[in-house]
Amino acid sequence: MPYATSTYHGTMNSDEQNETPSCSNVHSREDATTVDPTDHGEIDNDIQEGDNISRLVEETQSKKRFVTAREYYAFIIQVRKGLFNIILFGGRLFQQWAVDMYIKIESMRLDWYSNPENQKLIRAELYQGLVDVINAGETRASEVGKRIVLPRSFPGGDRDMQQRFLNAMAIVQRFGKPDYFITMTCNPYWEEITSNLEPGQKAQDRPDLVARVYRAKLWDMKDLLIKKKYFGEVAAYVHVTEFQKRGLPHEHILLIMKSGSKLTSPDGYDNVISAEIPDKDKYPVLHNLVIKHMLHGPCGVLNKKCPCMINGECRFHYPRQFCAATQQGKESYPLYRRREDGRRVKIRGAELDNRWVVPYNPGLLFRYNCHINVEACSSIKAIKYLFKYVYKGHDRASFSVDPAHKEGGVINEICQYRDARYISPPEALYRIYGFPLFGVCPSVLQLQCHLPDMQSVIIDETKNLQDIVDEPSSSMTTLTEYFMKNRVDSYARKLLYREFPEHYRWIHGSKVWQRRKQRGQIGRIVYAHPAKGERYFLRVLLNHVRGATSYEDLRTVTSITYSTFREACEKRGHRDRHVT
């Protein structure tokens, strides 16, 4: 292999290579099969308190300096001026190599999670309620040992996607519905890609270029939308990178605008979004871009074999109807202006008009030269559906045939994640480079919700167990310190638990809340299923009661202290209320 040792091994030191790897997070593992499962660019920057796995790994990383498999493979595929790298000239073999190496990296992480000893730690977190619980059965004693858990610290897993969805809904609860829904798809003919291809190469032969150029374009778009305020001031946003079945990356971006930048009328929609073919004489460049990137189909009666056809109808509802003027949608997307102006273009043997145009913003289309759909979505009622679509994860399809008498089978979430899933070369390289697949602003701090003395404790095997129990910080959590802060700070008593991170910063090391100098984070109390009983009602109370100083204070209503959180909820009238 060029500029590196012949193969990766788990005890490879960073000094063994001619150059320092591009990523600085290095750590030690005695064997390649135990490579750190969370060493990946997709992991959130903030290690949440209570996430024992991530914290233990973080401590390990700070002490060691060995190279991970991901760092190693990212190092050997770098383009270096004046140096020939045979891997980059492999064509289809390079594509196969990229997929194989990423599967190897991912398998190392998943094997770590599969280890029975590590599963004990993961399940302990679920039982004590410090992470989101997806299924009601996960905390029942009868289900112990019947589920192999893929925790939320693994990016792209079901729990991770569920956590991100709940974080996004917390942002909606705080800032309101999203205003723009943008979808950008990679263009393999971007000049930055084609100009760096070697003679005879196509974009598909260089998935590394596709991944890197797309990432650069995405960063430029974020800078334009957020910092340069292209549509106005942005209050919050989320974005997710996905990969098409043909391999190209595309982005879903949701923007929540500040009050002065929201679209409030059909005229406002027309100022930023178009669904018409531009005049060829006045705007020749834009006209060509719309024809190239923004026309759907043809499908329907013009092409019944189009992939978008389901049961004889286009699943995207094309062709749309002509519309003389933009109309406000009724709990749906607006009906954009699509005038019957006689403009038609011939695409694949069919004549298409304004009814086939995918809504776009002329400025973004001109700047990025790719398919970039822009929709106004503030009028949509099904906001949860919109975010679930964004955080849907990989397309998968699988089935199994089990004996009729088989009972009590183990639910293996790791196998469910691995099976019937596809990985394309651009995605493999995107992940090997450590590029994040998700982005959110402001960040969301997950607040613990545990019953008295049910908090999780990290155990250092080198310490005496009694010393760990006697250590005050062992019992300190975001919730217990929230109570403590309310006892001594009059300003804190004005806030709900979920509002705390907007005004106070959680210091992980010392486990205290410290007053913020500037805002940049919101809070979300981890989810508790109604089947969780008292913990569910504790969460309901925390979402409605301000300034609580203790568990007993939460159970007190009009000077009467009730024995359970459920009774307190009923007396306060909150039993049937639910806050995401």
pTM (predicted TM-score): 0.81
* 7 CB-side CA count, 13 A: 4
As beta bridge partners, residue 443 has: 521
Question: In whole angstroms, what is the distance from residue 372 CA to residue 180 CA?
Answer: 12
pLDDT higher at 3 or 172:
172
* Residue in this structure with the two tokens 């002065």, named with its chain if needed: 260
Mean pLDDT of 78-83: 89
**For residue 270, which of 340, 341, 344, 327 has the smallest C-alpha distance?**
327
SS3 annotation, 69-122: HHHHHHHHCCCCCCCCCHHHHCCHHHHHHHHHHHHHHHHHHHHHHHCHHHHHHH
pLDDT higher at 532 or 27:
532
* Residue in this structure with the two tokens 């309620």, named with its chain if needed: 129
Do residues 3 and 18 lie in contact, with contact meaning Cβ atoms separated by under 8 Å? Answer: yes
Predicted local confidence at residue 190, as pLDDT: 95
Predicted local confidence at residue 249, as pLDDT: 93
Write out the two tokens for 286.
Answer: 């834009």
Q: How do residues 262-317 score in pLDDT, each as one tens digit?
A: 988 888 899 999 999 999 999 999 999 999 999 998 888 888 888 888 888 888 88
The distance of Cα 165 from the centroid of its chain, to the nearest Å, equals 8
114-118, 248-252, 401-405: which range is least confident on average? 401-405
Q: Taking phi first (over 0 means left), then psi (-120 to 50 degrees means alpha), and beta for anything else, what does residue 511 get?
A: left
Q: Where are the domains of the chain?
A: 14-153+400-437, 166-390, 442-572
Q: How do residues 246-270 score in pLDDT, each as one tens digit?
A: 889 999 999 999 998 998 888 889 9
Mean pLDDT of 221-229: 95
Predicted local confidence at residue 462, as pLDDT: 52
* Residue in this structure with the two tokens 């792209």, named with its chain if needed: 156
Predicted local confidence at residue 211, as pLDDT: 95
Neighbours of 73 (CB within 10 A): 24
Helices (H), 80-233: 92-114, 116-127, 158-175, 191-194, 207-222
pLDDT > 70: percent of the chain: 76
Q: How do residues 411-465 score in pLDDT, each as one tens digit?
A: 788 888 887 778 899 999 999 999 998 899 999 999 999 898 777 665 555 555 5
pLDDT higher at 113 or 32:
113
From the CA atom positions of the chain, what is the Rg in Å? 27
Question: In whole angstroms, what is the distance from residue 258 CA to residue 235 CA?
Answer: 5
Do residues 275 and 333 lie in contact, with contact meaning Cβ atoms separated by under 8 Å? Answer: no
Mean pLDDT of 110-133: 69
Predicted local confidence at residue 9, as pLDDT: 62
pLDDT > 90: percent of the chain: 43
Distances (CA, A) of 34 to 39, 67, 100, 109: 12, 13, 18, 7
For residue 385, what pLDDT band results from cuts at 50, 70 and 90?
A: confident
Q: How do residues 502-542 score in pLDDT, each as one tens digit?
A: 999 999 888 899 998 887 899 999 888 888 889 999 999 99
